Structures are given as structure tokens and as C-alpha cells.
Amino acid sequence: MSTIWDHEVDVVVVGAGAGGMAGALTAHIEGCKVLLVEKSDRIGGSTAVSGGAVWAPLNSQTEAVGHPDSFDKVWTYLQNTVGTAAPEALQRAYLKACAPAVDYLDRHTEVKLVARTYSPDYYPDRDGAALGGRSLDPAMFDGRLLGARFRELRDPLPEFMVLRGMMVNMTDAKHLLAVTSSLNSWKEGMKLVLRYFSDRLRGYHRGTRLVLGNALAARLFKSVIDKGIEYWLSTPLQRIEVEAGRVTGVTLMRNGRELRVRARAGVIIATGGFPWSPALRETLYPQPTGPWSLSPRANAGEGIQLARQAGAAMGVGHASAAFWAPVSIRQRPDGSEQLYPHLVWDRAKPGLMAVNQAGHRFVNESTSYHEFVLAMYRSHETQPTLPAYLICDNPFIERWGLGLALPGGRPRQHLVDDGYLYKAPTLNALAQSLGIDATCLQASADAFNLAAESGTDPLFGKGSTAYNRYLGDTAHAPNPCLGPLRQGPFYAVKVYAGDIGTACGVRCNENAEALDASGQVVPGLYAAGNDMHSVMGGQYPAPGITLGPALTFGWIAGQHLAQQGR
């Protein structure tokens, strides 16, 4: 008995993040009738709350920004970072397609990306690494161009905003911190603030100057709108329909009733992975773990689970189940939790030391966020390190802040009162309040201060790589990442093993087609974004290695679906 369909299109795309919207746009541009559906009431998914970097080696801007590259060089780097954690064919397919995908979106949509002139890969001391050109950022976007639909765009993380609604990137933050000491920074800071207050006076719920991942999501959304692609919000996926071994459509829940939508060419699953699925976290994450993800709570793994019911298999062989980031956690007065991701701002700065619960350092504090959490897990095998502690002194917190504690003399007693920020007049007193051995903490601080004086960290090499120094304080000598920890009061925050998304997903081939347990294609089913098993194998070689593959394999899926329908 054939299915009775309520709606028919060529392609159904489930999930409105970077992977889903790239797939929808590409399939539409190539002649398909597309329906884009999103479980939540907002467009953008994880992309909208991300840092927005896109790792696309060999892109057309690489040489112009001073970093000529080659396939062999990038391939060497992937071999030295990802290795066998992901299939070689999939890695090669990504490297060959990522630049054409970026160019395609640039020509046909509002997606405009700008290559970084200096942005080292995360392991710059390994063969094949580059110091710039491979990572791109979305150009700033004016949210007013979305009109009334601006409210349909997912808001960024509060930590990416100041004044309760003004988005800032790293350059903006540096200007705002220097407004009293630099005329140029004062001018730039005033431009930002005046634009923001103008937006609020005009009735916008937040600032309309969009940067980072929110700008990328907005640019994709604007393109969806301009091209007239039909999209349905608040429409969760219920089933993937299969007839005679082929995916033929989906069943959705819309306005309280089930709708069956036929997809003549196929279905792309791009629902953002499973960071908020307790069952999948328990099965696939290392222990101990907790529900500490920066991804939207709607990313609960239904896309992956329903794809498996339709015949797809999970990928295997990955090095890590998630893309990690250390997070500090504040309990709000209403009982809810606020997560602060310690990504690129404070850990690499001179004067911050990380210790485990024994009071010992265990990591190069300025390493990548992913590597930092991996080090937490390694250390925890011998000494309790989950949570760990980030420790600094008064000059540091006044200069750089610490997590939610802002710099420049801003109020922070409320953070002490609610147990987020620890403060003590001496290191000994701080150790007592943290419940760690004071003698060990003092010994760690003494060794840390000696390293700061010499400019060399013999234990962990803080500040020893180009990536470390890129995030440090270039005005600080002899090492931009090493500074003393001497002047009280002293401060600390606990950090936990958080994630920015999952790396496990549906096993796919080079066309983004889902595969079953025997490696055969599940006809009509595709995956992109974090629903697709990571082409990086759960490794994190550089900034943008989630969004780069999301855009690329979304584009590949859209192209392949259009070809199948011809």
C-alpha cells in the first residue's frame, strides 16, 4: 500500500544550521524544489551560537593574504593530526571540495567569508601546519536586512555579547578594553556602542550588527529568504519514511498534527548531533561527564536516531566522541545554570594557571580548548581533575577578567556570593576554600613564577607555539603567555568538561550519502553537519573544522541530490 502524502517536494532538509541551509540552498539553486524544516522556533542551530570560523584550506583567498598553500601540505597536516581517526577517502573528498563549496556559496548566496591573515592551525609545530589563510570568518552582517524575520534568527550566546545584546568579536573586545588608553580604540568603541543603542531605540530586541557564527547563520538565512525556499519552524521530525529499501520522505509534527512529506530525490538530516541526548551521551561520552554543552538544547539526537531506524549506521574509529571545551558554571538565583566557555580569551594570557584537585598543573593552559579537556581526562586517570581550577591574581583579573568575572574593576562580588568565583587574600587561603592541598598549590605557583621570569615553561611549554602566542598578550615579554601569579587577592573558577558539539554521527561516503553497517548506501538518505560522522574523526586540527565540513558536505549533498533528480 503506497503512502498518502500531505506535501511533495524534491528534497526535504531537516535542520536549519550551516549544513542544512547549505544543502537546501545548493539543491534549490540546482533546480530542486526544497522544504527546510527546523525543530525549534529559531533558525541557525549551533552555527548561530558558534565562533563562526570556517576551515577551508586552498580557498581562493589563501595566497592573497600571504599564505600560499598546497594540497600536499594540507594533506600532510591532516595525516599528522587526524590520521586514521577518519576514512582517508572522506578526508580527501573534503579537501578537494571545501574551496569549491566556499566559492559556490560566495557566487550564489549572501555567504561572504574573509580569510584570516594570521590564524595558526592548532598544532603549528606539526608538519604541514599553516599560520593563516586556511580559516575564514563570516563578514559582518546587518541584521536589519532580515526585517521582521530577525526575531526568527537564533540569538548568540550571552557570552558573545556585552551590554546585554551587543555582539563583539575579539577585535571589538580589545578596543572596548582600551577605550580609556587609545584614541583609536575610543573611536571604534564609540561606534559600536552608538550603533547598539540606536538599534535598541528602534525597537530591536538586541543589536543588529552581527559577527561570528551569528553572522554566518544570518547570511545563510537571508539567502533562504531571498530565494523563496519554503521553511517551517517548530516542526520536529517524527519518522523517516522508507519504501522498498529507499528513503522516500519524512513524517513531521506541525501545528499539532502529523504531516507526511514526500521527498522525490531524498532527505538531508542535519539536526546538530546529540549533545542533549542523555542516552547517547551515556553510551558514547567518556566518564565522568555532565550535561554541559554549548549547543542548543534542541540538538537532542533525533536525526541520528531516526536515521539509524531507517537503516543508517553510526561511524566508528573516531578519536573522540565530542568537540570539547572547558566550561565554568554559574548557578543563577532561579536555579538555572549559565555556562561560560573558556575558548580563546583568558587561558592563554600571561598569569593564568590551571591545576587539578591535587594542586598540580596538568596542561599547557594556552592549548586549544579541545586539547585542554582531553588533558583533563588524561590527568583524571591518576589524580582528580574533573573539575579543574583556573587560578589568577588581582592584576590579571583587572586586565583580562576570568570567565564571567569581567575586567576593569567591574562588579564581581555577586559571582563570589553565588559560589561561581573564588576569592582569597592569599594562595593558602584560596587553596583552603577550593579544598586542595595548599603546599602543592604554592609549589605549583612558585614553579609557574620561575617560568614567567625566564619566559620558558619546562613542564608544559605554555607559549611555546605560534598558536599559543597568537592568543597571548603580544605586549608582554619575554613570553606573551607567561606571567607571574603573586599579587593578591587571588581568584579561581572551577572548569568542567563541556562540549561545543558531537563528533559521532551517521556513517557517510564522499557524497554525504548515509551508509548502513555493511558500508552500502541507504538510498535517498544524506547527512551533514554534526549528524554526519566527523570527517576530522573527533580531532580538532584548526579553527573552523566543524563549520567547514558542515558547509562543504551540505553543498556536496545538495549537488548530488540535484544530479540524482535529473
Final residue of a structural domain among 499, 522, 557 = 499
Instruction: Return left, alpha or beta for 408; rule: phi > 0 is left, psi -120 to 50 is alpha, else beta.
Output: left
- Tell me which of 176-185, 341-350, 407-416, 448-457 is least confident: 176-185
Determine the residue type at 211. Answer: V
Alpha carbon distance, N-terminus to C-terminus of the chain: 27
In this structure, are 20 and 86 located in the same domain? Answer: yes
pLDDT digits (tens, 9 = 90+) for 6-55: 999 999 999 999 999 999 999 999 999 999 999 999 999 999 999 999 99
SS3 307: helix
Question: Model confidence at 402, in pLDDT bands (50, 70, 90)?
Answer: very high
Instruction: Flag whether pLDDT at 473 surpasses 90.
Output: yes
b/e burial code for range 52-64 (CB count within 10 A of at least 16 → b): bbbbbbbbebbee
Rounded alpha-carbon distances, angstroms, from residue 440 to 355, 412, 557: 10, 27, 54
Residue at 297 is within a domain: no
Residue at 311 is within a domain: no
Final residue of a structural domain among 499, 532, 550 = 499
Instruction: Flag whether pLDDT at 1 surpasses 60.
Output: no
- Tell me which of 60-69, 334-343, 552-561 is least confident: 334-343
CATH number at residue 445: 3.90.700.10
Residue at 542 is within a domain: yes
Mean per-residue pLDDT for 307-319? 97
CATH number at residue 541: 3.50.50.60
Q: For the full predicted model, state whether its pTM sits above 0.85.
A: yes
Other beta carbons within 10 angstroms of residue 287's beta carbon come to: 9
In this structure, are 428 and 471 located in the same domain? Answer: yes
Residue at 148 is within a domain: no
Contact call for residues 393 and 488 (beta carbons, < 8 A): yes
Q: Higher model confidence: residue 173 or residue 354? A: 354
Question: Model confidence at 161, in pLDDT bands (50, 70, 90)?
Answer: confident
Residue at 289 is within a domain: no
Query: Measured between alpha carbons, how far is 452 from 392 in angstroms, rounded to an integer?
Result: 13
In this structure, are 31 and 164 located in the same domain? Answer: no
In this structure, are 19 and 89 located in the same domain? Answer: yes
Residue at 269 is within a domain: yes
Provide the residue range defining the domain that includes 99: 7-139+213-275+503-565
Residue at 318 is within a domain: no
Which residues have CB under 8 Å from 293's CB, separation 6+?
A: 275, 276, 299, 498, 499, 500, 501
In this structure, are 169 and 135 located in the same domain? Answer: no
pLDDT at site 159: 79
Residue at 280 is within a domain: no
- Joined together, the cell numbers standing for residue 214 give 551569528
**Radius of gyration for the chain, computed over Cα atoms and rounded to the nearest angstrom:** 24
Instruction: Flag whether pLDDT at 2 surpasses 80.
Output: no
In this structure, are 400 and 548 located in the same domain? Answer: no
pLDDT at site 566: 60
Rounded alpha-carbon distances, angstroms, from residue 294 to 48, 355, 365, 508, 513: 11, 23, 21, 25, 28
In this structure, are 246 and 205 located in the same domain? Answer: no
pLDDT digits (tens, 9 = 90+) for 69-93: 999 999 999 999 999 999 999 999 9
Instruction: Flag whether pLDDT at 529 surpasses 90.
Output: yes
Contact call for residues 148 and 70 (beta carbons, < 8 A): no
Mean per-residue pLDDT for 506-535? 98
In this structure, are 224 and 264 located in the same domain? Answer: yes
Domain count across the chain: 3
Mean per-residue pLDDT for 209-220? 97
pLDDT at site 332: 86
Mean per-residue pLDDT for 103-127? 97
Q: Higher model confidence: residue 157 or residue 523? A: 523
In this structure, are 363 and 374 located in the same domain? Answer: yes
Final residue of a structural domain among 191, 212, 233 = 212
Instruction: Flag whether pLDDT at 565 surpasses 80.
Output: no
In this structure, are 435 and 495 located in the same domain? Answer: yes
pLDDT at site 489: 97
In this structure, are 112 and 177 located in the same domain? Answer: no
In this structure, are 402 and 446 located in the same domain? Answer: yes
Instruction: Flag whether pLDDT at 538 surpasses 60.
Output: yes
Q: What is the DSSP string of 375-427?
A: HHHHHHTTS--SSEEEEE-HHHHHHH-BTTB-STT---HHHHHTTSSEEESSH
